[in-house]
Amino acid sequence: MNNRQLFQQYVAQTSPSPVGLEIVSAKGNYLQDVAGNKYLDLIGGISVCNIGHGHPAVVEAIKDQTERYLHVMVYGELVQSPQVKFAALIAAHMPASLDCVYFTNSGAEATEGAIKLARRISGRTDVISCNNGYHGNTLGALSVMGDEYWRNAFRPLLPGVWHYDFNSGDLIEAVNDQTACVIIETIQGEAGVIAPLPGWIKQLRKKCTDTGTLLIFDEIQCGFGRTGKLWGFEHFDVVPDIVLLGKALGGGLPLGAFVSSYAAMQALTNNPVLGHITTFGGHPLCCAAGMAAMNVLLHEELITAVAEKEQLFLSLLVHPDIRAVRSAGLLIAVELETADQVTKVLQKCLHKGLFSDWFLFAANCIRIAPPLTISEAEIEDACRILISCL
């Protein structure tokens, strides 16, 4: 059997019709398949590869760490240099109240840990999240996911979870002295790139403060420069109590984290001891890669170029079949009339060397979330192909 047949028979499938490209190389902003075809990558592994594929600094950091050590002990017991240094770097670029990092294996695990932390600190159980919000697919994260189609088959879920519309007054009104936490994406990604209204998010912050409710911002998809600032919440002058990180955090390797205050994190150390634990969370190889990637973001001026690249996309994405274009930096949703139309356009794009995708809760939208390293010429090529396929 060839690799495609092995993939179909032995690898657990997530959909009836996976794209199925057999990738043999990924460099910069391009993927290459087994037949030698190259594809301009417009989704960067779903906002993972913010500094492109195979960046030399990340590859070098991985090689260096492999020669030192890989797994040595479960998370939190031994001092491991990659974890320590990366946590310090993240904290140095967060507001002062967010100075303690708990590394996990993924963004979904960060969600789980943050919910546990919020319940432990508040002594409450209720959680408020948003319709069309996405925070991962493990059982707790699925419970706070805001779409019944994806949740229903796996009930019963976590009790005490209440969903309201993003940007709604109903959500703010629902926050009370029984609410452990409110968890929202700083920019709703899978809903098709929906930003919070500045006044709304500030009112939410105030209501959470007034009721002793922890405010959790999910920056898993929109963090690490994707929106034109290092963190999405920097656009709104609001600081959460807990931040969720993932995707680009590991520089292409699996890594997640939840970040809060040092004082808050102590709640996980007693009654019970080991209140949250993971074997591989904060793996030294992943932390080494993630720190290298973050340093590239900070020192190569990729973030400062995001706004200009966003505007170039917006100026070129013009076609009668495009109903709307919503953007938050280089996280862009191109809305068409139907999901079927999106599927056909994406298939045509693939044949012309352009790789893109759709959104979970907005299947009638084409996802554009390229590496932040994408050049102006590549943006022009991508838009030309996309418009021609429309």
99 and 153 in a common domain: yes
**What is the per-residue pLDDT for 18?**
84
Q: How many other C-beta atoms can be found within 10 angstroms of the C-beta atom of residue 23?
A: 12
Torsion of CA 169, 172, 174, 178, to 10 degrees: 180
- In the chain, DSSP assigns E strands to 23-27, 30-33, 38-41, 100-104, 126-130, 161-164, 179-185, 214-218, 242-245, 256-260, 324-327, 332-335, 354-355, 357-359, 362-368
Beta bridge partners of 243: 217, 259
Which of 264, 299, 334 is where one domain is finished?
A: 299
130 and 39 in a common domain: no
188 and 131 in a common domain: yes
Burial (Cβ within 10 Å: 0-12, 13-18, ≥19) of residue 151:
middle
**Nearest C-alpha neighbor of 264 from the set 240, 281, 248:** 240
Q: How many other C-beta atoms can be found within 10 angstroms of the C-beta atom of residue 30?
A: 17
The residues, any chain, with a CB within 8 Å of residue 97's CB and separated by 6 or more, are 239, 241, 261
22 and 118 in a common domain: no
Q: In the chain, how many domains are there?
A: 2
As given in the structure block, the two tokens for residue 162 are 């209440």
257 and 384 in a common domain: no
- For every residue of 88-120, DSSP letters joined together read HHHHHTS-TT--EEEEESSHHHHHHHHHHHHHH
26 and 13 in a common domain: yes
**What is the per-residue pLDDT for 253?**
98
**What is the per-residue pLDDT for 13?**
87
Containing structural domain, residue 20 = 3-54+301-389
**Nearest C-alpha neighbor of 190 from the set 144, 122, 128, 123:** 144
71 and 22 in a common domain: no
Q: How far is CA 12 from CA 7, 61, 136, 270, in A?
A: 8, 31, 18, 38
**What is the per-residue pLDDT for 1?**
87
- Distance, in Å, from the CA atom of 117 to the CA atom of 216, rounded to the nearest integer, reads 11
65 and 47 in a common domain: no
385 and 268 in a common domain: no
Which of 299, 319, 345 is where one domain is finished?
A: 299
**Are 379 and 37 in contact, with CB atoms under 8 Å apart?**
no
Which of 299, 324, 358 is where one domain is finished?
A: 299
How do the pLDDT tens digits run along the chain, 390 residues long?
898 888 888 888 888 888 888 999 999 999 999 999 999 999 999 999 999 999 999 999 999 999 999 999 999 999 999 999 999 999 999 999 999 999 999 999 999 999 999 999 999 999 999 999 999 999 999 999 999 999 999 999 999 999 999 999 999 999 999 999 999 999 999 999 999 999 999 999 999 999 999 999 999 999 999 999 999 999 999 999 999 999 999 999 999 999 999 999 999 999 999 999 999 999 999 999 999 999 999 999 899 999 999 999 999 999 999 999 999 999 999 999 999 999 999 999 999 999 999 999 999 999 999 999 999 999 999 999 999 999
Residue 281 C-beta-side C-alpha neighbours within 13 Å: 23
Beta bridge partners of 245: 257
322 and 279 in a common domain: no
For helices 284-299 and 56-66, what crossing angle results, to 10°? 150
Scanning the structure block, which residue is given the tokens 């953007």? 327
206 and 90 in a common domain: yes
192 and 318 in a common domain: no
CATH number of the domain where residue 74 is located: 3.40.640.10
CATH number of the domain where residue 25 is located: 3.90.1150.10
